Structure 1
Amino acid sequence: MSAETRRKSPIWEYFEVTEDARFARCKACKMKISRGGQTTKTFNTTNLQHHLRTRHQDRSAAYERAIEEEKVKAKDRKQTKASACFLQQSLLDVRKWDINNSRAQRVHQLIAEMIALDSQPLSIVNDVGFTRLLRELEPRYSLPSRRYITETVLPKVYEEVRSGVRKQVDGVSFFSFTTDGWTSDDGIANFLSLTAHWLTDDFERKSAILHVLPLEEAHTGEYLCHTFLQMLDGWNIKKNQVHLVLRDNAANMVKGMREACVPSYGCFAHTLQLVIGDGLLFQKGVKDLLAVCHRIVSHFKHSSLAHSRLQKIQASLGLPQHRLPQDVSTRWNSSLYMLQAIIEQKMAIAAYSSEYRIPQLTATQLEIAAKVIEVLEPFEEITKAVSSNASTISLVIPFVRMLHRTLKEQHNDKGIQSMKDEILKSLQKRFSDITDNYSLVLATLLDPRFKDKFFSDTSERSFARGLLQEKCHELLLETKSDPDSCAEDTCPPSPKRPQSLLWRSFSDILKETGSCSASSKTPSNIDHYLSEPVIDFHQASCDSWWMENNRRFPLLSELAQRYLSAPATSVPSERVFSDAGNICNDKRNRLAPERTETLLFIKKNFDICKK
């Protein structure tokens, strides 16, 4: 045992080491006592303590007290050391992270992503509640300034998302596009969107927002042409990669796409809007009906007391407590929803009108409203179908023919005959060229739900098959593929009969329309494909069918990948501006147009870059 150890142990107040280190001598009685070992490492004080207890009890008691005091002091020293360590660690914990600290940078990025994904104002970093929340969650983190988020973090997130989109679009041979224009509510900011659509080799439907570009000049056809080509150049997309552009029917947009020398087609939903508008505004009785309904709805819309009273009446009559929707001139289906609500709530409205003076519908007008609803409901079904994310331009020809047939089979048209005739006339006029449009014809033919069943006569079907044969021949020259290579497979089941009048028309057309005889020049895989029954429209998608059958029809599947990539409407681009309206609001009235594009790009493409 070292001298330092002896100094610290209370036992050495009563003993001293002899010349022979193996022994110690009692200071009281001078007895020599073994230290219990032969080397320093094996020495102990057991014998010394025993000697005190048996020979010197008073000294043993003093020794025990000293031992207890030493334990207390050791415990105090340990607690003092622990407190010092805790204080030091606490000081380290509350030390603020540097703005470039890796953990701080990660939080910066998450805040920027939250601002874009949730359409939050950039000023949120200055909001008291948000600041307090973050301080409570992580005291070491300091919120950066709005300028730092705007000029440093957001561009970094934008580039990360853009890089993810770039990986998705690189290597795609053909794109379809949707484009649409938008003006903010204050009329200051104008934008043109561009959304790309394509099918992968596995027939997975993909889309990405490429641009929401601010428009700085008059929206002439020439300027829109220049802007569109500029947006393509930003992604190194060549004009020969553009399969089809879905646009609205405005003259400047039509001219712009024509001058850009890219194939384009009007949005199917927008054209249907024009068709319905032509009919609803044509017959005075229908216009008067809509005007009265508009006044009824406005009464409840602008008076909370009136709405509250109507709800009580609805509850007492056991009717759904629905609000009455207001019609909007730019959305024909809003007129349909208004009429449906008026019919549903006619008893409640009549009961209310007995207490308060409001416009009322006559019995004749109620009958006309029911007939108008019957005419418009098939259009609503189709509008919903073509506005889905999975819709393709192959729906146009079949749906136009189904609408035409459905309208002709509706015989309960007394009081709305002029309106219905005008809708039929407008439908024929605005879609008169659909079977002359190669993109529509080939897309319909390559959709296994339709094939050649929806062409009106033998000459149209022969033209469609000849066009498909020509495209196969062109592709064959490019790929040197064997057009006759196909494996046998079980034919898909025939479609089931849907219930509504619109889908009964669909089923009847399939039953009535036969296939024209095959040409000897037609490649056998085209005959094979067209001879198989169409697949069930409601049970299977054209994308999944081609994914399963692309090896059976290799040439046709390559064409399907191109021609079925185009959506039926420009709705995907219109949805971009639904988010734009949330971004360009009163709390962001000074937001630069370029910053709006950045936020929209991140929001709409964020999921793409994470896949």
Structure 2
Amino acid sequence: MTKINELYDAKKKTKEEDLASAEYVALTGDHWTSVSNNNYLGVTAHYITKTWKLKSFALTVMKTEEHHFAEVCAQQFQTVAHKWKIEGKITTIGTVSARNMTAAAKLLPYEHMPCIAHMLQRSINMSLSNSGFANVLAKCRKIVGHFRHSAANTTELKAQQAALGQQQEPLIQDMPTRWNSTVEMIKRLNRNQAALKATLDQQNHKLVMLTPPEWDKLQRLSTLLEPCRYVMEILGGEAYISCSVVLPALCHLRQVMKVSEEDPAYVGRFKTIFMEELASRQENTNNAWLKLATALNPRFKDLKSLPKSEREEVWTSLGGMLYEQSPRRSLLTSQDGPPRKKTHLLQMGSDSESDEEVQPDREIHRYRAEPSISMEDCPMQWWAAHSGAHDKLARLASKYLATPASTVPCERLFSVAGHIVQKKRSALHSENVNQLVCLSNWLKDE
């Protein structure tokens, strides 16, 4: 532990220097309960460097005595920000949709970014439970359990897979808390339909096999869930910007979930419920932040994912922010020097007034006139090459694009913590838990 303490202190100093050079920092946070029933708050930081590299790393996995009250949660976030000296740099705090976390975020002087992946998963769960898929999914889980809980049954299934020339792969059991596990279970069952039937025909079991219409229903469900799986994987990444992808991704889902005349009744119900749930939950997200982030992504700056009536409002907001950054605005709002009204009178006769006044609009216009980049191109590389031409917008881009779309970074911390705080190590000191989890996160890139 002495060596671990020394390594932690050295690496933490490096991380503190990195944060000191960052202009804006976004946080994600969530709570986790260990096997010894201790509660921990995990917090991760996300920022864009001056060389336009997206950086993410853990700040802490700190033990907390109480987390059910919003005031306590808010104080915990403030404690972390104070320890890392980033109180004035924080832009957003991303949390899950738990009531106490949402209320805590609203008490803090930062923007709140609810986890979009959680929002999608809840919409999917509600659609599955109310559209006629519950019975067929229950059968699937029993079939998967029959093989996963018996080594002999698994061996027989692998033998049938080999005989049919298929890849020998185990079945997957879906879990409510594991995103995309349902679609992965369905895809694995569909691929191994013949091997499953051949194996079960040779066994004495009490399982109720799926009928041909139910297999067809599974295939349709797999097609329905595949776009959702793709979107959730995109939103869960840490190595690339994700906040600016939310609105285009949700627009894509709304397109693929439109009910058509060829859809069976149960597919139509699924799509209808999903659209209603998604629309209801999206109202509680930080749509204003998402719109600005989308506009500052050169892939999606045409704002086709927004209604035409809302697009100009986004550019007007950006223009107002550029005006707030202008030197003249700083002069007008300064507490020192002549009163604001008299200063404004002096400026009315200035020859350069017109140039100053239109500068924000001119910069917005120049940025909008730039051609959009393809989906294969990196927005960070684009801004690295064009930040000199759009210096004020570049500052806003580094602020809005750094925010992650989900709390997946915290979920990954807790996965590591679960391996560290095992039953045989349940008495591990909380400070040691924090150092081990943080070091695991900091050293993974090295």
CA gap of 1:478–1:189, structure 2 versus 1, over 3 A, is farther
Indicate which of 290, 297, 300 corresponds to 2:144: 297
- Is 1:527 aligned with 2:348? no
**Percent sequence identity over aligned pairs:** 29
DSSP-derived class of the 1:408 partner: coil
DSSP-derived class of the 1:158 partner: helix
Offset at residue 311 of structure 1 (A): 1.1
Rounded to whole Å, the distance in 2 between the matches of 1:376 and 1:207 is 29
Give CA deviations for 1:159-205 in whole Å, capped at 9, x if unaligned.
Answer: 11111111111132211111111112x25221111111111111111
Indicate which of 150, 159, 168 corresponds to 2:18: 168
Offset at residue 478 of structure 1 (A): 7.7
Indicate which of 201, 204, 212 corresponds to 2:50: 201
Q: Superposed, which structure 2 residues align to 1:225-374 within 5 Å?
A: 225-238=74-87, 240-283=88-131, 285-356=132-203, 357=205, 358-374=207-223
Rounded to whole Å, the distance in 1 between the matches of 2:359 and 2:7 is 55
Give CA deviations for 1:531-580 in whole Å, capped at 9, x if unaligned.
Answer: 2332111x111111100110111111111011111111111111111110
- Is 1:399 aligned with 2:236? no
Residue pair 2:242, 2:404 contacting (<8 A) in 1 also: yes
Q: Which residue of 2 aligns with 1:28?
A: none
Offset at residue 472 of structure 1 (A): 1.0
DSSP-derived class of the 2:44 partner: strand
DSSP-derived class of the 1:243 partner: strand
Rounded to whole Å, the distance in 2 between the matches of 1:212 and 1:295 is 37
TM-score of the superposition, structure 1-length normalised?
0.65
Indicate which of 141, 156, 165 corresponds to 2:6: 156
Q: Which residue of 2 aligns with 1:430?
A: 281
Rounded to whole Å, the distance in 2 between the matches of 1:479 and 1:201 is 25
Q: Which residue of 1 aligns with 2:72?
A: 223
Offset at residue 410 of structure 1 (A): 6.0
DSSP-derived class of the 1:566 partner: coil
Rounded to whole Å, the distance in 2 between the matches of 1:158 and 1:554 is 37
Indicate which of 555, 558, 569 corresponds to 2:406: 569
Q: Which residue of 2 aligns with 1:386?
A: 235
Offset at residue 329 of structure 1 (A): 1.5
Q: Which residue of 2 aligns with 1:461?
A: 311
Rounded to whole Å, the distance in 2 between the matches of 1:362 and 1:578 is 38
Give CA deviations for 1:440-469 in whole Å, capped at 9, x if unaligned.
Answer: 111000000101323433320011111111
Give CA deviations for 1:143-173 in whole Å, capped at 9, x if unaligned.
Answer: xxxxxxx3x3332222111111111111322
CA gap of 1:201–1:332, structure 2 versus 1, over 3 A, is closer
Rounded to whole Å, the distance in 1 between the matches of 2:94 and 2:396 is 19
Residue pair 1:245, 1:264 contacting (<8 A) in 2 also: yes
- Is 1:600 aligned with 2:404? no
Letter in 2 for 1:550: S
Q: Superposed, which structure 2 residues align to 1:44-83 within 5 Å?
A: none
Letter in 2 for 1:546: W
Rounded to whole Å, the distance in 2 between the matches of 1:202 and 1:331 is 35
Residue pair 1:397, 1:454 contacting (<8 A) in 2 also: no
Letter in 2 for 1:355: Q
DSSP-derived class of the 2:55 partner: strand
Rounded to whole Å, the distance in 1 between the matches of 2:371 and 2:439 is 44
Offset at residue 431 of structure 1 (A): 1.2
Rounded to whole Å, the distance in 1 between the matches of 2:269 and 2:324 is 48
Aligned length: 417
Rounded to whole Å, the distance in 2 between the matches of 1:572 and 1:188 is 22
Rounded to whole Å, the distance in 1 between the matches of 2:256 and 2:195 is 33
Give CA deviations for 1:475-520 in whole Å, capped at 9, x if unaligned.
Answer: 2248979xxxxxxxxxxxxxxxxxxxxxxxxxxxxxxxxxxxxx98
Give CA deviations for 1:11-60 in whole Å, capped at 9, x if unaligned.
Answer: xxxxxxxxxxxxxxxxxxxxxxxxxxxxxxxxxxxxxxxxxxxxxxxxxx
Residue pair 1:276, 1:332 contacting (<8 A) in 2 also: no
Indicate which of 8, 23, 39 corresponds to 1:190: 39
Residue pair 1:391, 1:567 contacting (<8 A) in 2 also: yes
Q: Which residue of 1 aligns with 2:417?
A: 580
DSSP-derived class of the 2:402 partner: coil
Rounded to whole Å, the distance in 2 between the matches of 1:394 and 1:603 is 29
Q: Which residue of 1 aligns with 2:394?
A: 557
DSSP-derived class of the 1:423 partner: helix
Residue pair 1:179, 1:570 contacting (<8 A) in 2 also: yes
CA gap of 1:368–1:478, structure 2 versus 1, over 3 A, is farther
Q: Which has the larger radius of gyration?
A: 1
Q: Which residue of 1 aligns with 2:352?
A: none
- Which of structures 1 and 2 has the larger relative contact order (alpha carbons within 8 angstroms, sep 6+)? 2
Rounded to whole Å, the distance in 2 between the matches of 1:316 and 1:479 is 75
Letter in 1 for 2:172: P
CA gap of 1:354–1:454, structure 2 versus 1, over 3 A, is same
Letter in 1 for 2:201: S
CA gap of 1:558–1:332, structure 2 versus 1, over 3 A, is closer
Residue pair 1:455, 1:461 contacting (<8 A) in 2 also: no
Residue pair 1:299, 1:306 contacting (<8 A) in 2 also: yes
The two structures, once aligned, show a CA RMSD in angstroms of 2.1
Q: Which structure 2 segments of 5+ residues have no match?
A: 332-356
Rounded to whole Å, the distance in 1 between the matches of 2:165 and 2:384 is 50
Indicate which of 396, 399, 417 corresponds to 2:268: 417
Which deviates more from structure 2 when the two are superposed, residues 405-414 or residues 449-458? 405-414
Residue pair 1:387, 1:568 contacting (<8 A) in 2 also: yes
Q: Which residue of 1 aligns with 2:374?
A: 536
DSSP-derived class of the 1:168 partner: helix
Letter in 1 for 2:166: L
CA gap of 1:306–1:200, structure 2 versus 1, over 3 A, is same
TM-score of the superposition, structure 2-length normalised?
0.89
Give CA deviations for 1:353-372 in whole Å, capped at 9, x if unaligned.
Answer: 22223321111111111111
CA gap of 1:411–1:245, structure 2 versus 1, over 3 A, is farther
Rounded to whole Å, the distance in 2 between the matches of 1:187 and 1:280 is 34
Rounded to whole Å, the distance in 1 between the matches of 2:246 and 2:178 is 20
Indicate which of 10, 30, 42 corresponds to 1:180: 30
Rounded to whole Å, the distance in 1 between the matches of 2:82 and 2:139 is 52
Q: Which structure 1 segments of 5+ residues have no match?
A: 1-149, 482-518
